[in-house]
Structure 1
């Protein structure tokens, strides 16, 4: 099964320590938000990632699937 790229935007600039909860994802802090980007193998892994956002009390501002070039495919 191919890996699909995703880009999640959460409210607040996550600390490096909190960022460890998202190993395998690239963290970029931008104007009061944090962008998490990386590959996700399947829907179960995506659900786990979203649950981690919730468990940490973070506010999800956006979720985008990326095409193979890293461009946005869809918005949720």
Structure 2
């Protein structure tokens, strides 16, 4: 069982396209513009507080949040 203070890998899906220049602001997450007009942010997040900080940044940009998925590491 994963604890809330442990790092995890996440996929955050938002409506609209974000340019890759936002990667530093999103703490190094990989930004992928999808063909359907959505953006996928993927990468490691150190803990739940950092995840909530990333979600606040999505809100501050006024982009609709579509989903947040914790991606289990291989072998889990």
TM bucket, shorter chain: 0.7 to 0.9
Map 1:1-76 to 2 at 5 A: 2-30=6-34, 31-69=36-74
Output the TM-score relative to the length of structure 2.
Answer: 0.80
Q: What is the alpha-carbon root mean square deviation over aligned residues?
A: 1.5
The alpha-carbon deviation at position 13 of structure 1 amounts to 1.1
CA contact (8 A) 2:23 2:30 kept: no
The alpha-carbon deviation at position 19 of structure 1 amounts to 4.3
How many equivalent residue pairs? 69
Output the TM-score relative to the length of structure 1.
Answer: 0.80
Mark the structure with the bigger radius of gyration: 2
Unmatched 5+ stretches in structure 2: none
Q: From the superposition, tell whether residues 22 and 46 of structure 1 become closer, same or farther in structure 2 (CA, over 3 Å).
A: same
Unmatched 5+ stretches in structure 1: 70-76
Query: Matches of 2:30 and 2:21 in 1, distance apart?
Result: 14
